[in-house]
Amino acid sequence: MAQDRQYNDEQKQYFKDRAGTKEAWYHVVPHDEEGWAVKAEGKDEPEYSTGSKSEAVKEAKRLAEDSHSMAIVHDDEGKIEEQFNYQEK
């Protein structure tokens, strides 16, 4: 599985400031223990983990829709594949 992406201090602070707010996005990322995880921005622990990427995407979309934020799906190397925007316009 891919390693956690390395962020600079400014990026880390940006994600930390959004953590726990309705602007916190949900990311589907590779997870060493389960296969795939849904992580809220700024949080180290996954909200959800599973062996199935499609199940992780489904859960990320549900969480994002419930919180009016975004679900961002990454590939196994950490690159963004898809984005689902549920933000209020």
State residue 16's pLDDT score.
58
Burial 27-50 (b: 16+ CB within 10 A, else e): bbbbbeeebbbbbbbbeeebebbb
pTM over cut 0.85: no
CA angle 8, 60, 69 (to 5 degrees): 70
pLDDT in tens, 29-74: 999 888 999 999 878 899 999 999 999 999 999 999 988 889 999 9
State residue 43's pLDDT score.
82
Tell me the average pLDDT across 76-87.
90
State residue 1's pLDDT score.
34
